[in-house]
Structure 1
Amino acid sequence: MDIFDCAIIGAGPAGLNAALVLGRARRRVVLFDNDTNRNRVTKAAHGFMTREGVKPAELRQLALAELGQFPSVSVHKRTVEQISKANGGEQVFQIMSANKQIFLAKKILLAAGVHEKFPKITNIREFYGKSLFSCPYCDGWENRGKPLIVIAEKQEHVHHMTKLLYNWSKDLVVTTNGHPMSKEMIEEFQQKQIKVINDQVRLIYGNNGNMAGVEFDSGEKIAREAGFIVPSFYRPKPFVEELGCEVKEDGKIVTDDLGRTTIKSVYSAGEFSHAGPASLIIAAAEGSKAAGAINYDLSDESF
Structure 2
Amino acid sequence: MLDCVIIGGGPAGLNAALVMGRAGRKAILFDEDKPRNRVTQESHGFITQDGVKPSEFKKRARTDVQKYPSVSIKEERVEIIEKSGGVFRIQTKGGTDYVAKKVLLATGLRDVLPEISGIQNVYGTSVFSCPFCDGWEMRGQALAVIAENERAFHMGKLLSNWSRDVVVFTNGYQVLGEEEKDVLMRQHVTVVEEKIEGLKSKEGQLTSIRLQNGQEIQREAGIVMTDLVQSAPFAEQLGCEITPNGGIKVDSFGRTTVEGVYACGDTSLSTPSQLVIAAAEGNKAAAGVIMDLVEAAFLLP
* TM-score normalised to structure 1 length: 0.94
- For 1:36, the equivalent position in structure 2 comes to 34
**C-alpha distance in 2 between matches for 1:188 and 1:68:** 52
Using the TM superposition, give the Cα deviation of residue 277 of structure 1 relative to its aligned residue in structure 2, in angstroms. 4.8
Using the TM superposition, give the Cα deviation of residue 276 of structure 1 relative to its aligned residue in structure 2, in angstroms. 7.4
**1:90-133 alpha-carbon deviations (Å, 9 max, x no partner):** 22111122222222111000110000111111131221111001
**C-alpha distance in 1 between matches for 2:285 and 2:190:** 44
Gaps of 5+ in 2: none
User: What does 1:235-250 align with in structure 2 at a 5 Å threshold?
Assistant: 235-250=230-245
- For 2:79, the equivalent position in structure 1 comes to 81
3-state secondary structure, aligned to 2:38: helix
Task: Determine whether 1:163 maps to 2:161.
Answer: no
- For 1:134, the equivalent position in structure 2 comes to 129
- For 2:193, the equivalent position in structure 1 comes to 198
Using the TM superposition, give the Cα deviation of residue 193 of structure 1 relative to its aligned residue in structure 2, in angstroms. 2.4
**C-alpha distance in 2 between matches for 1:216 and 1:83:** 47
Higher alpha-carbon deviation: 232-241 or 178-187: 178-187
Task: Determine whether 1:263 maps to 2:258.
Answer: yes
**C-alpha distance in 1 between matches for 2:177 and 2:53:** 40
Query: For 2:55, which of 28, 50, 57 is the aligned residue?
Result: 57
User: What does 1:138-287 align with in structure 2 at a 5 Å threshold?
Assistant: 138-154=133-149, 156-180=150-174, 181-274=176-269, 277-287=272-282
3-state secondary structure, aligned to 2:292: helix
**C-alpha distance in 2 between matches for 1:68 and 1:193:** 52
**C-alpha distance in 2 between matches for 1:229 and 1:184:** 23
Gaps of 5+ in 1: none
User: Do the aligned partners of 1:114 and 1:276 also contact (CA within 8 Å) in 2?
Assistant: no
- For 2:18, the equivalent position in structure 1 comes to 20
3-state secondary structure, aligned to 2:37: helix
Q: Mark the CA change 1:276 to 1:239 in structure 2 (over 3 Å): closer, same or farther.
A: farther
Q: Mark the CA change 1:41 to 1:275 in structure 2 (over 3 Å): closer, same or farther.
A: farther
Using the TM superposition, give the Cα deviation of residue 21 of structure 1 relative to its aligned residue in structure 2, in angstroms. 0.4
3-state secondary structure, aligned to 2:117: coil
3-state secondary structure, aligned to 1:109: strand
* TM-score normalised to structure 2 length: 0.95
Query: For 1:72, which of 60, 70, 73 is the aligned residue?
Result: 70
% same residue: 45
Query: What is the number of equivalent residue pairs in this alignment?
Result: 297
User: Do the aligned partners of 2:230 and 2:246 also contact (CA within 8 Å) in 1?
Assistant: no
- For 1:93, the equivalent position in structure 2 comes to 88
Using the TM superposition, give the Cα deviation of residue 279 of structure 1 relative to its aligned residue in structure 2, in angstroms. 1.0
3-state secondary structure, aligned to 1:203: strand
RMSD, aligned CA: 1.4
**C-alpha distance in 2 between matches for 1:57 and 1:246:** 33
- For 2:114, the equivalent position in structure 1 comes to 119
